Amino acid sequence: MSPPCVVVTTAMLLLLLTAAAARDTCSGVTPAPPQRGARVSLASVGGRGDGRTLNTAAFARAVAQIERGGGGGTQLYVPPGVWLTGPFNLTSHMTLFLARGAVIRAHQDTASWPLVDPLPSYGRGRELPGGRYMSFINGNGLQDVVITGDNGTIDGQGSVWWDMWRKRTLPFTRPNLLELMSSTDVTISNLVFQDSPLWNIHPVYCSNVVVANVTILAPHDSPLTDGIDPDSSSNVCIEDCYISTGDDMISIKSGWDQYGIAFGRPSSGITVQRITGSSPFGRPSSGIWWRRKRPSQALEFVQHGGWDQHQDQLRKGRIHPKHHYL
C-alpha cells in the first residue's frame, strides 16, 4: 500500500509548489494592465522606422492624439524598425508597445537636447550645478502608464554622453533613459533597455510601480549607468530582470544628501526578487542581496565590493555603510 501513498504525496507536493510559484510575484502593487480601447501606430502619424528619419514630431503627434482620446486609454504601437527620435513625453492612460524588432533609438545631437529643472530632492543637477538634460522618455504627474512590448528595444546611444563625461566637457547632467515623476500605476515590462546616457529606469516620487521581465545592458566601463533606481517612491515591485551595466544594478534612493533630507520623502514598500546580471563591483551572477530582518523593517540590501571602487567622484568612497535600511 505504501507506493500509492508516496505517489499521492508527491503529486500533492508538486501541486503545492506550483501554486506557491504562481503566487510568488509582487506585481499586484499595480492593477492588471488594461486592455486599451484604441490603438495608434507610430507609422500612421508620419513616423518612419528607417533608422535615419527623426521621429520626434511623430511621437509628439501620437501622444497628443492619445491625450484627446479619453475613455480607457490608447496603445501607441511601435512597429518593427529603427525609430530615431529626440526625447519625448508620455501621457496618462497610455500603453507604449514595442513590437518584436522595434527599436526606439535616441539621436546623438546633444546640442539640441532640451534642459529641465533639477529635481527638488536633488537641488541641482546630479553631476553638475544647474539644470539637467531631459530624460529620453519622460512623464510627469501621470496615471495608468504601461511601457511594454514583445522584447523591443529602447536604445539610448549613450556613448557620446559617456565620452563627454570622461573628457569633462559636459555642460549639464546627462539624461536618463526613462524617468517617470510623480506618477502612479506604472508597469514596465518585456523590453530591452540599452546604452543609457546615465540611469536606465528612474521612477521618482512615484507609487504603485512594477518593473518586470526587462533586460538592461550597458558596457561595464559606461559611467554611472545604474539599472533601476526607485527614488522617493513607494509600493515598487522589481522582479525577474537581467541587468548588466557600468554601475549599480539596483539603487534605492531618497533624493541626494541635504536636498533629499530637506525634501523628506523616503522610499518604502519596495520588493526586489529574482534579479541576475553583473556590475563592475558585484559578483557575476548578482550585485545585490536582500533578507528580511524584522516585521518593522523592510529589506536589508548588501552591496558587495568596495565603496571606494564606485565611479561617482562625488561620493569619495568614505560615507557609505554596507547596509541600507529602507
Catalytic residue ranges: 247
Q: Exposed/middle/buried for 321, CB within 10 Å: 0-12, 13-18, 19+?
A: exposed
In the chain, alpha helices (H): 2-23, 56-69, 159-167, 257-263
The CA distance from 271 to 290, in Å, is: 10
| CB distance 131 to 125 below 8 Å | yes
- Please state whether beta strands 94-98 and 74-78 pair in parallel, antiparallel, or not at all (unpaired): parallel
| CB distance 125 to 116 below 8 Å | no
| CB distance 153 to 98 below 8 Å | yes
In degrees, to the nearest 5, what angle opens at C-alpha 219 toward C-alphas 218 and 224?
A: 70
| CB distance 240 to 216 below 8 Å | no
Distance of CA 214 to the CA centre of its chain: 9
In this structure, what C-alpha cell is assigned to residue 210?
512594477
In the numeric block, the cell 486592455 is attached to 35
| CB distance 202 to 232 below 8 Å | no
The CA distance from 278 to 287, in Å, is: 6
What's the half-sphere exposure (Cβ side, CA atoms, 13 Å) at 212? 16
